[in-house]
Amino acid sequence: MTESKAPRLIGKIKFWNEKKGYGFIENGDKQDIYLDGWDVKDGSTPKPGQLYEFEAEPAEKGIRARKAREVKREKPKRNTFTGPMDHNY
């Protein structure tokens, strides 16, 4: 079995039907990309606005996402003040 060399793309979930287990990823001004729940490989449940990384392949009615996984966003580090009052007397 050979490793897939398809380019990985990143897109935002536009719509997700949890009951039916499918949805769509935004594709700019072009046709949206179909995402089936069986193609989500990290066990996550897509929600509108989340970013997903995936491979795209032609399908019967457009483009289908394969091997999708959520892109984890790092939380910004909070700066703490360490001024002259931050010490013990």
Beta bridge partners, 54, equal: 9
* 79 falls within a domain: no
Assess contact for 56 and 62: CB atoms under 8 A. no
Is pLDDT of 89 > 60?
no
Give the total number of structural domains in the chain.
Answer: 1
* 46 falls within a domain: yes
Query: In the prediction, which pLDDT does 88 show?
Result: 58
Assess contact for 13 and 48: CB atoms under 8 A. yes
Rounded Cα distance between 50 and 28, Å, is: 15
Domain that holds residue 12: 8-70
- Report the CATH number at residue 33: 2.40.50.140
For residue range 8-60, list pLDDT tens digits in order.
899 999 999 999 999 999 988 888 999 999 999 999 999 999 999 999 999 99
Choose among 67, 59, 5, 4: nearest CA to 32: 59
What is the model's pTM? 0.74
* 3 falls within a domain: no
